[in-house]
Amino acid sequence: MSAVTPRPTVHPEYDLEAEHLSQTIAAMLRQIEFWEDRDRNAGADLETSVTMADTSEEHAAMLSVHVHQPYFGSLKVRVGGREQTLYIGKHAFLDTRGGHGVVSWESEVGSLFYSDVLGWTPRRGGQGIIKRRRQLDVAHKHLLRVTDLYDDEQGGDTGGREEVLLRRLEEQSTAGMRDVVETLQPEQNEAMRWPAGTPVIIQGAAGSGKTTIGFHRLAWMTNRDRGIHMARPEACMVLMPNKVLAAYAARILPELELQGVSVTTPESWITGLLGLEKLEVTDRTLTLLLTDHDNTRRALAWRKAKLLGDARMLDVVRTHLWNKFNHALHGQSLSEQVEVRGREAQTFALAESDLATLLRDVFAADPLDGYRTGFKRALEAEALSRLNVPEAEEASVLRQLAAPFTTLLGRIFASTTPVTETRRLLSDAGALGASGLLTDKEIKLLLADPLSGIPTPRRAHADVTELPLMLAVQAFTGGIGRQDGRTLEPFDHVVLDEAQDYSPLLYALLGRATRTGHITALGDLNQGMHGYKGPSSWEAVQEQLTGAKVLTLSRTFRSTRQITALGAQIASTYNRAADVRGVDRDGAEVQRYSGQPDELPLLAQAVKDAQAAGHQNIAIVTRRAADAERLSAELREHDTDAQPIITQEHRYKGGLVILPVNLAKGLEFSAAIVAGCNEETYDHSTEYERRLLYVAASRALHWLALVSAGELHGLVR
């Protein structure tokens, strides 16, 4: 464990601050009592009283969570010659009776606590000057410590920000992602508050806080101060690479008051929209890249996967559907008798040419809820207008036309399901060429099948490289967005984690599913494991998200100096930008266990040593799920009970676990043990394998062990 921190000297203003804290707590409790007092919430009538009481109770419940820690910092400012101290907390509190209010961290003034600026222009005008920034560690209603971060009377920067950060980073890991509201760093603060309505791509090395900052940006977006850009939590979505990580990350939501956000994976979201939750999603390109030694075939598979995710495919799909629906219109017409009260029976008739015009208009309008619904709306509007139906009769007329309209819609749209239509398109040279967007060479590439040697599952399945195309068909025909009852709405805001693994086509579709400017993408092009699925550069993403800004987080926070250095050693073999700036935090040396015939006693010993060093959340990371399953059983013989996490349905609940590296990505533990840390397990000559070794070796906050029965991997020996 890290060196013992020296006992802090008591700050000269500790007593003053302790007094302020107890008065703030008293003021909050008074307010809560006031809200909870039903007699005071009596309105003019019963209904008003009930509404008032409900709202008050809600306020009381929201505030009571924060009484044990009303704030974590303060700002002394001078505005127009007047000095004032503002206390910054996770929840705003307006003290109507005294000077014990709290400003929310999400507010504009709250931002000044995190940044390095020394002056600002308050909304009311004039000039504001920052005199002091002060961290106040409070827990269980008790003031633990006062640390000045900046104080113009002490000559400016005190180095306190780094001190507070280091203390926080030395804490043990937990079973979920944590908020960093108290120690947001200036660069992170800026990324988090990049103007609402602008899409951002946050690029940062492993452990730079991308995922954490993405959630904080979402919380900031849901604050009322965002005005027209405010997002409702229940109308937001976060996409994470796997379900284990999604559940781990979702634990941050209550702390950030983000109840109702949907945190899922792209595959679950897409198959859910297609109504095919049971569809098995394969990644056969990856299997081929890892198992096939034929370089020509590998290159072909890579190029084909890239092309399937090319943004031009959106218009290839659109043109294909346009031709298909127009073809289906041939010979179709409509002629129906309609009764309108008080009139003679009328005929509503549409010739094939009328239908074609309507279809053209629908394609031009490109409705969010899809062409089928759009065409139905167009038919209904045409009927009401041609028959000149009075408003009171509209419902009756539409009821009479419902059945013939459904039949007609069926004839035009019914045979188009996303899965079959995508496969039909991908096997038809003519259809692929119809848009004129693809070259002959590209069409040939799409028709080739480099994956034919890779087995497919028996169950209904789709490959991850086909999914965006299927989603495109769905978007055009059935619509795309957030299901709200029976209607589709755009998401208020969407956050994407591991954004380097999303194809440009998927970006184009997500852009369609979300309010303009409301995508936050978090990623690291250097950590890409699946280049064949992702964009070649952030520019390719910017082309899909108009006005998107790329922001870079340059500092990493997760691990000790020793662990960060080991990771950099592995990453330097494939990544020219491996030279990242870490927080210089000292910790234990990396432990190495090797040179015995059997790995099991070595693993058991490593677990014991990690526990003896004071760690509880410990992970043994294996290369494959099958290794984790086997070792978990065998380790019991060695008195070591490691909970296996081997499928996406398992959840990480803390303690000692054993899991494969693909499910460990994004998770972090106080201590990590890399099992099978040798070249038979992680092939030295394969870049993908070295990247996996990096992921495994970068999961620990404080303590890392490398274990191999034989010799350790050359990169870490």
Ligand X SMILES: Nc1ncnc2c1ncn2[C@@H]1O[C@H](COP(=O)(O)OP(=O)(O)OP(=O)(O)O)[C@@H](O)[C@H]1O
What residues are designated binding site for ATP?
204-211
Residue range at the interface with ligand X (CB under 6 A); choices 150-158, 209-217, 326-334, 470-478: 209-217
Three-class SS of 109-126? HHHHHHCCCCEECCCCCC
Rounded Cα distance, 415 and 152, in Å: 72
What is the residue whose two structure tokens read 């038809």? 428
Among 573, 595, 586, 568, residue whose Cα is nearest residue 683: 573
Least separation in angstroms between CB 431 and ligand X: 40
Residue of the chain from 24, 74, 104, 208 that contacts ligand X (CB under 6 A)? 208
Q: Which is nearer to ligand X, 106 or 524 (CB)?
A: 524
CA angle 10, 164, 193 (to 5 degrees): 135
Residue of the chain from 148, 310, 524, 599 that contacts ligand X (CB under 6 A)? 524
Least separation in angstroms between CB 213 and ligand X: 7
**Contact present, 691 and 590 (Cβ < 8 Å):** no
Least separation in angstroms between CB 665 and ligand X: 7
Residues 6+ apart with CB under 8 A from 707: 593, 594, 599, 602, 603, 606, 673, 674, 675, 676, 677
Per the annotation, where are the binding residues?
Answer: 204-211
DSSP class per residue in 215-263: HHHHHHHTSGGGGGG---GGGEEEE-SSHHHHHHHHTTTGGGT-TT-EE
Is residue 558 a contact residue for ligand X (CB under 6 A)? yes
Least separation in angstroms between CB 1 and ligand X: 17
Tokens encoding 138:
């409070």
**3-class state of residue 683 by DSSP:** coil
Torsion of CA 349, 355, 361, 367, to 10 degrees: 100
Q: Which is nearer to ligand X, 210 or 615 (CB)?
A: 210
Q: Which is nearer to ligand X, 478 or 666 (CB)?
A: 666
Rounded Cα distance, 676 and 631, in Å: 11
Q: Which is nearer to ligand X, 70 or 204 (CB)?
A: 204
Q: Which is nearer to ligand X, 56 or 526 (CB)?
A: 526
Least separation in angstroms between CB 246 and ligand X: 13
Q: Which is nearer to ligand X, 169 or 317 (CB)?
A: 169
Least separation in angstroms between CB 205 and ligand X: 7
Task: Tell me which residues in 648-677 interact with ligand X (CB under 6 A).
Answer: 666, 668
Least separation in angstroms between CB 502 and ligand X: 15
Residue of the chain from 73, 89, 207, 241 that contacts ligand X (CB under 6 A)? 207
Residue of the chain from 363, 557, 593, 694 that contacts ligand X (CB under 6 A)? 557
Contact pattern from residue 76 through residue 105 relative to ligand X, giving x for each residue in contact according to CB under 6 A and a dash for the rest: ------------------------------
Residue range at the interface with ligand X (CB under 6 A); choices 17-25, 59-67, 203-211, 445-453: 203-211
Residue range at the interface with ligand X (CB under 6 A); choices 85-93, 208-216, 398-406, 528-536: 208-216
Q: Which is nearer to ligand X, 322 or 557 (CB)?
A: 557
Is residue 644 a contact residue for ligand X (CB under 6 A)? no
**3-class state of residue 640 by DSSP:** coil
Residue range at the interface with ligand X (CB under 6 A); choices 32-40, 150-158, 205-213, 337-345: 205-213
Residue of the chain from 210, 533, 690, 691 that contacts ligand X (CB under 6 A)? 210
Rounded Cα distance, 414 and 417, in Å: 8
Is residue 560 a contact residue for ligand X (CB under 6 A)? no
Residues 6+ apart with CB under 8 A from 323: 431, 434
Rounded Cα distance, 356 and 332, in Å: 10
Residue range at the interface with ligand X (CB under 6 A); choices 38-46, 105-113, 201-209, 537-545: 201-209
Torsion of CA 392, 396, 398, 402, to 10 degrees: 170
Residue of the chain from 32, 112, 200, 206 that contacts ligand X (CB under 6 A)? 206
Q: Which is nearer to ligand X, 165 or 508 (CB)?
A: 165
Is residue 599 a contact residue for ligand X (CB under 6 A)? no
Is residue 137 a contact residue for ligand X (CB under 6 A)? no
Q: Which is nearer to ligand X, 244 or 446 (CB)?
A: 244
Q: Which is nearer to ligand X, 89 or 666 (CB)?
A: 666
**Contact present, 370 and 476 (Cβ < 8 Å):** yes
Among 661, 644, 657, residue whose Cα is nearest residue 696: 661
Residue of the chain from 203, 211, 271, 503 that contacts ligand X (CB under 6 A)? 211
Tokens encoding 415:
């045979």
Least separation in angstroms between CB 218 and ligand X: 13
Q: Which is nearer to ligand X, 41 or 562 (CB)?
A: 562
Beta strand residue intervals within 140-181, DSSP E: 142-151, 156-157
> In the Cβ-directed half-sphere of 155, how many Cα atoms lie within 13 Å?
3
Among 86, 111, 81, residue whose Cα is nearest residue 24: 86
Q: Which is nearer to ligand X, 206 or 358 (CB)?
A: 206
Least separation in angstroms between CB 666 and ligand X: 5
Rounded Cα distance, 253 and 236, in Å: 12
Residues 6+ apart with CB under 8 A from 482: 235, 237, 488, 489, 490, 491, 513
Number of residues that bind ligand X (CB under 6 A): 23
Contact pattern from residue 221 through residue 260 relative to ligand X, giving x for each residue in contact according to CB under 6 A and a dash for the rest: ----------------------------------------
Query: CB nearest ligand X: which residue?
Result: 209
Contact pattern from residue 149 through residue 188 relative to ligand X, giving x for each residue in contact according to CB under 6 A and a dash for the rest: ----------------x--xx--------x-x--xxx--x
Least separation in angstroms between CB 115 and ligand X: 13
Among 315, 423, 332, 331, residue whose Cα is nearest residue 375: 332
Is residue 492 a contact residue for ligand X (CB under 6 A)? no
Tally DSSP H helices, then E strands, for the chain: 25, 27
Q: Which long-range contacts (CB under 8 A, 24 or more apart) does 39-46 make?
A: none
For residue 658, give the amino acid letter.
I
Q: Which long-range contacts (CB under 8 A, 24 or more apart) does 120-128 make?
A: 122/79, 126/79, 126/80, 127/79, 127/80, 128/77, 128/78, 128/79
Least separation in angstroms between CB 48 and ligand X: 45
Least separation in angstroms between CB 440 and ligand X: 40
Q: Which is nearer to ligand X, 372 or 558 (CB)?
A: 558
Residues 6+ apart with CB under 8 A from 132: 74, 75, 76, 148, 150, 151, 152, 153
Least separation in angstroms between CB 180 and ligand X: 4
CA 288 to each of CA 333, 469, 511, 626: distance values in angstroms, whole numbers, following the listed order: 50, 21, 31, 20
Residue of the chain from 70, 176, 199, 204 that contacts ligand X (CB under 6 A)? 204
Least separation in angstroms between CB 557 and ligand X: 4
Q: Which is nearer to ligand X, 217 or 482 (CB)?
A: 217
- Footprint of ligand X (CB under 6 A): 165, 168-169, 178, 180, 183-185, 188, 204, 206-212, 524, 527, 557-558, 666, 668
